[in-house]
Amino acid sequence: MTLLGGLGAAVSQTQAQQYPSRPIRLLVPLAAGGLGDTFARTVSLHFSQRLGQPVVVENRPGANQVIALEMTARAAPDGYTILQSTQAGVVFASALRKNLPYDPLKDFTQIGLLFTTPFYLLVHPSVPAKNLQELIALAKSQPRKLNFASIGIGSGHHLGMELLMLRTGMEMVHVPYKGSDRAMPDMYSGRVQVMFQGPTSSLPAIKTGKLRALGISGPERNRAVPDVPTIAEQGVPGFQMDTWFGLTGPAGLPRPVVNRLNAEADHMLRAPEVIEKFAASYLEFIPSTPEQMTERVRNDIPLWTKVVQQVGIEPE
């Protein structure tokens, strides 16, 4: 048994040293054209140049990203099929869907985080609140009078606000929209008054005065608007709602392969041309170890599953 085990390890080590010897498929659980797809194509270009083999982007959207995740879980653990994973797919889908065709904790190898994007807590200028504590006081004095927008039930915009309400005792009415392009006009008009929104839509509205930012959901202030404090520093300690993207493979991915991919991701995230390309998107690049990404997933799933249960969302 010891001899066979040693031979198996030696073969695995040799294969890892030769990796990659053929093209790699990079699954993207999103449609072409958005920020996630654009970033995946940057990963493809950088990895192809560094690894000496083509890294081919394959968009596989649908079913709350479950399609791409299932393909990854079923792939051979050889490093030739990897996934640009997202918090929405890995974490939220596990809380919102019944009978997943994979185990989100056991059927994957986390390679490393790529970046996070925070949410800004936005209010219409007519709302008489200049900071989070004033909003909390207003919402508590007039329960369910304020409306908050999201881009859909179970989205980060929605669940982040539900978590904030649970932590602060606010009661507001949820108004789900089918995308930011439909929600933002109603925010501008004041039809809905409150929303968690990402940087791309938030920053122009903040800088033109169309909307007011009361806080940022990430662990640190954002360099784009350094005067906007985090929610955690405004009396909600530990609050964090920043959506993340990472690289994920099937379970059993050899450690040397994981290390190689992680090292290339780290190199890419520190490359000046990549930093410059996405500067206007205000992404927070977060080179991480596989263990750090695994810990993030293990912490996120029970947190957001509990939020879904507490607010009474029925898994589909």
Print pLDDT tens along the chain (316 aa): 455 555 445 555 666 678 999 999 999 999 999 899 999 999 999 999 999 999 999 999 999 899 999 999 999 999 999 999 999 999 999 999 989 999 999 999 999 999 999 999 999 999 999 999 999 999 999 999 999 999 999 999 999 999 999 999 999 999 999 999 999 999 999 999 999 999 989 999 999 999 999 999 999 998 889 999 999 999 999 999 999 999 999 999 999 999 999 999 999 999 999 999 998 888 999 999 999 999 999 999 999 999 999 999 999 8
The position carrying tokens 């079913």 is 63
| Residue 84, both tokens | 């640009």
Query: What is the model's pLDDT at position 13?
Result: 61
Number of neighbouring beta carbons within 10 Å of residue 176: 16
Phi then psi dihedrals of residue 208, to 5 deg: -90, -5
Phi then psi dihedrals of residue 24, to 5 deg: -110, 140
Who's near 105: CB < 8 A, 6+ residues apart? 297, 298, 301
Q: How far apart are the first and last CA of the chain?
A: 46
Number of neighbouring beta carbons within 10 Å of residue 37: 17
Query: What is the model's pLDDT at position 167?
Result: 97
Domains of the chain: 21-117+242-310 (3.40.190.150), 120-234 (3.40.190.10)
Collapsing DSSP to helix, strand or coil, 125 comes out as coil
Query: What is the model's pLDDT at position 18?
Result: 87
Query: What is the model's pLDDT at position 43?
Result: 98
Collapsing DSSP to helix, strand or coil, 33 comes out as coil
Query: What is the model's pLDDT at position 280?
Result: 85
> Are the CB atoms for 93 and 190 separated by under 8 Å?
no
The position carrying tokens 């520190």 is 270
Instruction: Show the DSSP H helices in the chain as ranges.
Output: 2-18, 35-51, 66-74, 87, 93-96, 132-141, 156-168, 180-189, 199-207, 255-269, 272-277, 290-310
Phi then psi dihedrals of residue 115, to 5 deg: -160, 165
Q: Would you call the peptide bond into 176 cis, given omega within 30 degrees of 0 as the criterion?
A: no
DSSP 186-233: HHHHTSS-EEEE-HHHHHHHHHTTSSEEEEE-SSS--TTSTTS-BSGG
Query: What is the model's pLDDT at position 6?
Result: 52
